[in-house]
Structure 1
Amino acid sequence: MNDRTAPQTLRPISGAARCAVASLVLAGAAWTARAVWQIRLAVVGQPSSGPPDQGDGRHRPLTTLENAYHVVSSLGDAATALCAIAFLAWLWRARDNARVLSGRPPRHAWPWLYAGWIVPVANLWIPRGIVADIHRAGAPEERLPHAVNWWWGLWLVGALSGTGLMYTGTTDAVIARVYTEAPLLLTADAAVVGAAVAGVLVVRTLTAAQQRRGSET
């Protein structure tokens, strides 16, 4: 469905909201587990044989704790992907409903629902703008909830810190960084978990506002 075929009545949103909330909770738990394992690795310290990647294509055998971190990291990646899908599904429905409630086309065309998260520079403001527009349509008399700014600020820290959501290095590279840069990694983890918590509040608040406004029209 694109902007030209947007519905003229409110779409059911409670189910999508519940899925988004559940996936945010799951992602927050997964990143908390990742942080716990990073703390355990940092406490134990790097083996005398050095980091997992020895250079020149050589890798030493992983310790039991390092192997466990690989599993935790993979589960965290899966939870994050699931969260992204569920959140975008909710966002799409909320955006369609915002158009019905406001009677105006969205400020950002539908491709930005996806591209806004990955296009450099644009990803610094477009997703927040979409959420803010949804709020204005659902609760035009109310100020933007603080949860939106907390969610977006923490998301930016977690995504753009170079150690969190957008980090593209291997898991072995992360393990090596844990041994030398644990505080930086844990800061990124905390930001991601905080963004997930704030995201739950955002989804619940904006969904409730749309439902109230819909019952009044």
Structure 2
Amino acid sequence: MTELIDKAGGLLPSCRPLQLSGQLAAGGLLLAGAAWIARGVWEARLALAGEPAAGPPDQGEGVHRPLNALEDSYHFVTALGGGAVVLCALLFIAWLWRVRDIARDLSGQPPKYAGLWVYLGWFVPLINLWFPRGIVVDAFRRAVPGRRQPVSVDVWWTLWVIGMLSGVGIVARDSTDEIIARAYTEVWPLLASDAAVVGAAVAGAFAVRAVTGALVERLRQAGAPQPV
């Protein structure tokens, strides 16, 4: 059986795909967090090594000096981190779609946010400050009415916004070479932003597990036989 029968005789999704999707999304978040830890370690190494006598990699007016071994390895670490973030995003959005659909099935009501915002909500300025969290909260409240949303959801989103708005974290405005130059001269803002990103990843994993667990419990209750 891939579906459960609810108390009204309707069909509800199975718990197993939701559980697997939640595990993958939480794992993707932790992987992205680990990648950002590595990034912070390399930035600290750059700060300890000090800026070379030749100056920063980007020397202005389109002139770039050859990278040393440490700078080159930082490029590699940031590229791996970017790949981890893309994988995390795909897994998280897949989980969010499933949660949104299950909440609709359980409540019998359409979601508050149109489906296109599951994607665009992360990229449209200003809207990306609250829509993604709103989609999670809306799905949770519809699926588990009367139950308070997990604290981890708010912690995750607060740290995510800090990392996003810092300009050196999740959505960096500087190029990798410019970030290397900043690591040589002002590493602490970089490390603070990295800490926010890592914290968001860990809190996000807890939020995914909490929301998934609540929906699985609700699905099982909805599919349980009525007492005689």
TM bucket normalised to smaller: over 0.9
CA contact (8 A) 1:134 1:206 kept: no
Tell me what 2:4 maps to: none
Q: Distance in 2 between matches of 1:8 and 1:198?
A: 33
* Cα distance in 2 between the residues matched to 1:13 and 1:170: 38
SS in 1 for 2:13: coil
Residue type of the alignment partner of 2:35: A
Q: What are the residue-to-residue correspondences of 1:1-217 with 2, within 5 Å? A: 9-10=12-13, 12-217=17-222
Q: Give the CA deviation at 1:17.
A: 1.0
Residues 126-176 of structure 1 show CA distances to partners (whole Å, capped at 9, x for unaligned) of 111111112212332321211011000000011111111111432111101
Tell whether the 8 Å contact from 2:167 to 2:174 is kept in structure 1 after alignment.
Answer: no
Task: Measure, in 2, the Cα distance between the counterparts of 1:127 and 1:8.
Answer: 28
The DSSP-based 3-state class of the residue aligned with 2:56 is coil
Q: Which runs of 5+ in 2 are unaligned?
A: 1-9, 223-228
Aligned partner of 1:104: which letter?
Q
Q: Report the RMSD for the aligned CA atoms in angstroms.
A: 1.4
Instruction: Please say which structure displays the higher CA radius of gyration.
Output: 2
Moved more, 129-138 or 142-151: 129-138
Mapped to 2, the partners of 1:44 and 1:192 lie a distance apart of 24
Task: Return the alpha-carbon distance in structure 1 between the equivalents of residues 86 and 182 of structure 2.
Answer: 23
Matching residue's letter, 2:109: R
In structure 2, how many angstroms separate the alpha carbons of the residues matched to 1:92 and 1:66? 39
How far does residue 14 in structure 1 lie from its aligned partner after superposition? 1.3
Residue 10 of structure 1 aligns to which amino acid in structure 2?
P
Gaps of 5+ in 1: 1-6
Percent identity of paired positions between Structure 1 and Structure 2: 53
Quick one: distance in 1 between partners of 2:204 and 2:189?
A: 22
What secondary structure is seen at the aligned counterpart in 2 of 1:164? coil
Return the TM-score normalized by structure 1: 0.93
Pairwise CA distance, 1:200:
0.6
CA distance in 2, matches of 1:121, 1:25: 26
Q: TM-score, normalised by structure 2?
A: 0.89
Q: Distance in 2 between matches of 1:193 and 1:80?
A: 12
Amino acid at match of 2:33: G
Please say if residues 153 and 207 of structure 2, whose CA atoms lie closer than 8 Å, have aligned partners that are also in contact: yes
Q: Which secondary structure state, in structure 2, belongs to the residue aligned with residue 9 of structure 1?
A: strand
Q: Provide the rounded CA distance (Å) in 2 between the counterparts of 1:134 and 1:109.
A: 12
Moved beyond 4 Å, runs of 4+: none
